[in-house]
């Protein structure tokens, strides 16, 4: 699972195996080791009314309502889903979860063998 943080947004991108595991187990987790600690991040199905992200002790948890998770896993045409969450100070955090597509540009140092086929490539287009 890839994590992208930019400003007040976080984006998770899952490979085919991760989406399937999320559908079966209801959770997908990964981690990044940094100097001074580990950042864990988790996507999980939960009994919540809306998508919500929390940070506790170097662990980002994105909780997704059961119905949203089920539809995303089962619908092969649905790329992702997002939500704007109110956070401290009256700001909003954009949470985006997507299926990870193969890139149309050659990236020799990145293994994309488990990514979803890129629909643009199937149409003969370019990014």
User: Which of 29 and 99 is assigned the larger pLDDT?
Assistant: 29
* Domain contains 97: yes
Domain that holds residue 95: 2-103
Residue 45 in any domain: the answer is yes
CATH code where residue 99 lies: 3.30.1360
Within a domain: 69: yes
Which residues neighbour 107 within 8 Å (Cβ) at sequence distance 6 or greater? Answer: none
User: What mean pLDDT comes out for the span 21-35?
Assistant: 96
- Judged against a pLDDT cut of 90, whether residue 35 lies above it is answered with yes
At residue 116, the pLDDT reads: 55
Query: For residue 43, is it within any domain?
Result: yes
User: Each residue of 79-108: pLDDT tens digit?
Assistant: 899 999 999 888 999 999 998 866 656 655
Q: Which residues contact 10 (CB under 8 A, 6 or more apart)?
A: 3, 4, 53, 60, 62, 93, 94, 95, 96
Lowest average pLDDT, out of 29-33, 69-73, 92-96, 105-109, goes to: 105-109
Structural domain tally of the chain?
A: 1
Residue 126 lies inside a defined structural domain of this protein: no
Residue 117 lies in a domain: no
Residue 81 lies inside a defined structural domain of this protein: yes
* pLDDT of 118 strictly over 70: no
Residue that is written with structure tokens 């943080």 in the block? 5
Tell me if 119 is assigned to some domain. no
pLDDT band at 50 (very low <50, low <70, confident <90, very high): very high
């Amino acid at each position: 699972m890839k994590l992208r943080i930019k400003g007040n947004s976080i984006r998770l991108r899952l490979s085919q195996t991760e989406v399937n595991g999320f559908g079966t187990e209801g959770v997908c987790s990964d981690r990044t080791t940094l100097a001074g600690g580990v950042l864990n991040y988790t996507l999980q199905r939960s009994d919540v009314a809306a998508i919500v992200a929390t940070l506790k002790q170097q662990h980002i948890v994105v909780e997704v309502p059961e119905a949203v998770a089920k539809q995303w896993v089962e619908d092969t045409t649905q790329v992702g889903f997002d939500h704007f969450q109110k956070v401290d100070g009256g700001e909003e955090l954009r949470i985006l979860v997507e299926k990870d597509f193969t890139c149309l540009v050659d990236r020799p140092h990145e293994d994309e063998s488990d990514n979803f086929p890129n629909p643009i490539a199937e149409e003969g287009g370019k990014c």
